[in-house]
Amino acid sequence: MRVVVIGGTGHIGTYLIPLLVSRGHEVTVLSRGLRRPYRTDGGWRHVRTIETDRTAEEAAGDFGDRVARLGADVVIDLICFTEQSAEQLNDALEGRVGHLLHCGTIWVHGPSAAVPTTEDSVRRPLGRYGIEKAAIEKRLLARARRGGLPATVIHPGHITGPGWAPINPAGHLDPGVFEDLADGSRVVLPNLGMETLQHVHAADVAGVFLAAVNNRSVAVGESFHAVADGAVTLRGYAEAAAGWFGRDADLDFLPWDEWSRTVPPQQAETTRSHLEHSPHCSMAKTARLLGFRPRYSVLEATEEAVLALVDEGRIVVGDGAGPRARP
């Protein structure tokens, strides 16, 4: 099939594009051309890449038509974040594409209630990102169920893998938390460290997209989670991460109001969002309808990412002399 991937050089595309090529699909990637895939693969030699500025072309009203003119059987949109952006593409593709796959987020669910959360759970999104993604999903699947636009939505968790820093056991992105755990230095977690995170390896997210492409008849009109099986508490994550370096975690805990004053405001806001959501989503529907089960657990996915950062020198493992000074 002719497959167009919008934003194909990022986390998911790094793994998805070679999978599509290996299965004989003719692949075109639309990208700003500012990023290279996180890992090399010979399959990229067979990919047609078109540099495009989606934001500028949407402002001119041209982007959706440009994608439609490529004549794809399948369009995979990995970088759509607003309802307005989605609707321009959806309008252009209606009646002109065999399958549209949109990358959503488990943030559409809002705070966890009964867990594991299933795809049909009531939507209570928090923040602009989750609200916009929930609105995109609602309108896109309504179109699909009316028969106008065959579409599927894939909702990843916290995407991780070699090449970038995963959400750490404190709920933000500072890799220094891993350095302190590796050194045996004390790490302070918010509350009692019992809120949850649910990472997913980018390779598994790519696998869900491919499974949806391969099972179009059951995927159209549906949304699917793309997460690791099971979630992990902040405390359990910190203990496991210390163990990767042969350490026992030295942990302390502070109530949120106190803890949030110990880190920069941006880190505190990132952590607050993760604590408020405390995701734990089910993969049962993805397994049942698409036949896909994730290869990586939460801890396997994050361990691979962290050890890759150590190899790259982006996480520096010291001698246990004490916590690093970080800006």
pLDDT in tens, 237-258: 999 999 999 999 999 999 999 9
From the list 228, 232, 230, the residue with the least C-alpha distance to 240 is 232
pLDDT beyond 70 at 321: no
Cα 210 from Cα 224, distance rounded (Å): 12
pLDDT in tens, 290-302: 999 999 999 999 9
Q: Over the stretch 111-156, which tens digit does the pLDDT of each residue have?
A: 999 999 999 999 999 999 999 999 999 999 999 999 889 999 999 9
Give the separation between CA 43 and CA 191, rounded to whole angstroms: 46
pLDDT at 319: 61
Tell me what pLDDT residue 326 has.
Answer: 39
Which pLDDT score, from 0 to 100, does residue 37 have?
77
Mean pLDDT of all residues belonging to the chain: 94
State the pLDDT confidence band at 73, using cuts at 50, 70 and 90.
very high
262 strand-pairing partners? none
* Residue 84 confidence (pLDDT) above 50: yes
Q: Give residue 148's pLDDT.
A: 84
Residue 227 has pLDDT above 50, yes or no: yes
If pLDDT is split at 50, 70 and 90, which confidence band does 324 have?
A: very low
- Residue 147 one-letter amino acid: G
Total residue count of the chain as it appears in this document:
327
- The answer, yes or no, to whether residue 325 has pLDDT greater than 50, is no
The three-class DSSP label of residue 267 is helix
Tokens of 276: 């408020």
Domains of the chain, residue spans: 2-159+199-226
Describe the strand order of the beta sheet including 74-77 as a list of residue ranges: 48-51, 26-31, 2-6, 74-77, 99-103, 151-156, 223-226
* 3-class SS string, 268-293: HHHHHHHHHHCCCECCHHHHHHHCCC
CATH 3.40.50.620 for the 2-159+199-226 domain, yes or no? no
